[in-house]
């Protein structure tokens, strides 16, 4: 990535939105949104939403600030300063709650019923295989029957 610029240099852009600052920095570096998205592991659509100041397409304020900081640093800007600028520009803006984020899984100490049933079934199959293979391979010897029918 690039060395951070002085904060004073960013101060000249007080009247520009954070998205416009990011867009201009990207264009100045002749970098594509797709390339930066791949490098930063952030979907290009989200980077384009940042540049367009379209916060409705972004997951939530905490993520927006993190994305802005990361994107700014990748462009050689001071990430903390740009994040601060974003916060100061967004005073009064109502960010929606998280969306398109995975819901936490329900945690339980008891395994799922399906896991228990499958585990018991595998145990029974293994027990039967072990029992059938543990013998010497010869069928049990049947005692001879006497002529009078006794053993």
pLDDT digits (tens, 9 = 90+) for 119-140: 999 999 999 988 888 766 566 6
Which H or E run includes 79? helix 79-89
27 confidence band (pLDDT: 50, 70, 90): very high
CATH top-level class of 7-89: mainly alpha
* Overall pTM > 0.85: no
Name the nearest CA neighbour of 5 among 88, 90, 86, 82.
82
Cβ proximity of 86 and 77 under 8 Å: no
Q: Which residue has better confidence, 60 or 48?
A: 48
Which pair of structure tokens corresponds to residue 12? 């000249």
Cβ contact 58:70 at 8 Å = no
pLDDT band at 4 (very low <50, low <70, confident <90, very high): very low
Phi-psi bin for 149: left (phi > 0), alpha (psi -120 to 50), beta? left
Q: Where are the domains of the chain?
A: 7-89
Question: The tokens 């100041």 sit on which residue?
Answer: 53
């Amino acid at each position: 990535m690039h060395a951070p610029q002085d904060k004073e240099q960013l101060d000249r852009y007080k009247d520009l939105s954070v998205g416009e600052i990011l867009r201009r920095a990207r264009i100045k570096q002749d970098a594509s949104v797709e390339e930066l998205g791949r490098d930063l592991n952030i979907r290009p659509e989200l980077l384009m939403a940042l540049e367009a100041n379209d916060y409705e397409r972004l997951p939530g304020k905490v993520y927006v600030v993190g994305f802005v900081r990361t994107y700014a640093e990748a462009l050689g800007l001071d990430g903390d300063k740009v994040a601060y600028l974003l916060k100061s520009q967004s005073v009064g803006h109502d960010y929606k709650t998280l969306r398109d984020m995975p819901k936490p899984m329900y945690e339980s100490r008891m395994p799922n019923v399906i896991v228990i049933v499958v585990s018991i079934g595998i145990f029974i199959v293994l027990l039967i295989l072990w029992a059938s293979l543990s013998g010497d391979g010869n069928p049990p010897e049947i005692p001879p029957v006497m002529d009078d029918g006794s053993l």
